[in-house]
Structure 1
Amino acid sequence: MRPRDDQRARGRERADAADAIAEGVRGAGPSEIPGRLCHVAVELLPVNGASVSLHSDGMPVQLGASSAQAAYVTEIQATLGDGPCQSAAERGEPVLACDLTAGRDVGRWPVFAQLATEAGIRAVYSMPLGNDTVCVGTLDLYRDAPGELTADEVRTARMVAGVMTVALMALPRGEEYGSGSGVRDEDRWLSGLATDHDEVYQATGMIMAQLGVGADEALARLRAHAFSHSSTALDVARDVVSHRIRFDQD
């Protein structure tokens, strides 16, 4: 294909992707947009699932997913505090784990790779949400077979991530919730979107009080308990909040 024809083809692909994104979010309320865009990503790309998370205080806060499998593998990363989405958030650039069954990617995240493959996922592609200076979260794409994304597919994934970023930034921020509550602006911003993960923050506070430790240590204890009991951080948090688990009695 000649360079000019190649440029035209890419232009058509971008236009088609933009049309699919626009159609996917048409009529959606703010809280529906993350989930809708996850489904659009699955339609546009050779992946089986997608999820979107904000990263707050080192904890991925899942806002939406295209399937239960995608949601579960995202929770694995949140529980471990490790995985492609953590690396993408820290580096602010795409992280493409093309084969979780062998080679370099297994060495980078050995525990996550094992748990992800047990859940039926063989490749993960994490796209940062934000700009060149700030990463606020990730769009995580999951596939049940190893393989690379083409350059055009990476561009499409980044386009979806860009739209996701704009959509999230347009959501009501802390100042629209009023002041004087003692809750941080970023936490108020998340409150309407990730109500399940409010329990993680509440449980972290309870563990802090039970053990007399700081927030980082409390979150690490919660994650360690979840991992050692083959559970997720969110499930353990619910047990803590409901007083089924106390960390000062372990």
Structure 2
Amino acid sequence: MASKGDLAAVLGDLRASSGGKELIGVDAARCAQALGVDGVAVSLPVTGEPGELVWSTPGTSARLEDLQYTLGQGPALETAAMCAPVIEPDLVHVAAGRWPALLPEAIGLGVGAVFCFPLLLGGACLGTLTLQRAAPGPLKEAEHTDAWLVAGALTAVLADGAQQWAASDAKGDSVLYRAAVHQAAGMVSVQAETTLAQALVRLRAYAFARGRPVVDVAEDVVARRVHFRKDQDGPGVSDR
């Protein structure tokens, strides 16, 4: 069972981080253990898009964020839109029409409960902190309080490191997890003679239909292994 010492250590590591690339060096698994969950993930909203994954435990949490990004629905998107937490202690009992594409996929991943908190900066939502557990059930009161403490620490780290993120992206060595998606969307837009928004929809649909993370498909597009053409047959796959 996690102790207050575990949480204090995680908060200390976060506060010692200057943001930017250093956040990736903070142990997300240790954070999950301190909060009594199986995994954590942090995403930063991008204007008009679901979010950019910047920190997570590997495996289920990262895959859940990928699914939300690919499908354009889920607790992180709701949290970012409302600037309010989304707490679902048992995904089996969530109304099917709420996240119709995401729910069966998330349950199939073994996610039983999700708890999503906004990273609030004034009246704005800087990002989202998503906790997930395999076993359904609510967070204990202390765990809920601790999650808000971590969310506050993450907000401070990301706000302090905002210039580092922007500088890395401007130099072309972006640490953003989905940098390839934005590059691929631009390529698809040219190949299929469509808008960037429509290009992103095609990328997501292609990835979902094949059960692949959209990031992987984007990397194939950038490497010119997948080519989207303007016709009625949808995207084609190049042998090059």
Higher relative contact order (CA 8 A, sep 6+): 2
Instruction: Determine if the TM-score, normalized by the shorter chain, exceeds 0.5.
Output: yes
Q: 2:144 aligns with which of 142, 154, 179?
A: 154
Matches within 5 A, 1:206-225: 206-225=187-206
Tell me the SS of whatever aligns to 1:166. Answer: helix
Is the 8 Å Cα contact of residues 35 and 63 (structure 1) preserved in structure 2?
no
Matches within 5 A, 1:100-119: 100-101=91-92, 103-119=93-109
1:211–1:106 distance in 2 versus 1, CA, 3 Å = same
Is the 8 Å Cα contact of residues 35 and 65 (structure 1) preserved in structure 2?
no
Is the 8 Å Cα contact of residues 7 and 31 (structure 2) preserved in structure 1?
no
Matches within 5 A, 1:1-250: 19-25=8-14, 28=17, 30=19, 31-34=21-24, 36=26, 38-57=28-47, 58-101=49-92, 103-173=93-163, 177=167, 188=170, 192-194=174-176, 196-248=177-229, 250=234
Q: Distance in 2 between matches of 1:189 and 1:76?
A: 29
Tell me the SS of whatever aligns to 2:137. Answer: coil
More helix by share: 1
Cα distance, 1:189 vs structure 2: 9.7
Equivalence for 2:237: none
- Output one character per residue of 1:19-53: Cα deviation in whole Å (capped at 9) or x when no partner: 23344347656423256263343122221001111
Tell me the SS of whatever aligns to 2:178. Answer: helix
1:154–1:26 distance in 2 versus 1, CA, 3 Å = closer
Is the 8 Å Cα contact of residues 80 and 112 (structure 1) preserved in structure 2?
yes
Tell me the SS of whatever aligns to 1:54. Answer: strand
* Aligned residue-pair number: 227
Is the 8 Å Cα contact of residues 95 and 125 (structure 1) preserved in structure 2?
yes
Tell me the SS of whatever aligns to 2:43. Answer: strand
Q: Distance in 1 between matches of 2:182 and 2:62?
A: 19
5+ unaligned residues in a row in structure 2: which ranges?
Answer: 235-240
The TM-score with structure 1 as length reference comes to: 0.80
Is the 8 Å Cα contact of residues 7 and 34 (structure 2) preserved in structure 1?
no
Cα distance, 1:152 vs structure 2: 3.0
1:245–1:41 distance in 2 versus 1, CA, 3 Å = same
Cα distance, 1:109 vs structure 2: 1.4
1:63–1:175 distance in 2 versus 1, CA, 3 Å = closer
The TM-score with structure 2 as length reference comes to: 0.83
Q: Distance in 2 between matches of 1:56 and 1:149?
A: 29
Cα distance, 1:105 vs structure 2: 4.7
Opposite residue 199 of structure 2, the aligned amino acid is A
Q: Distance in 2 between matches of 1:63 and 1:190?
A: 16
Q: Percent identity?
A: 32
Cα distance, 1:176 vs structure 2: 7.8
RMSD: 2.7
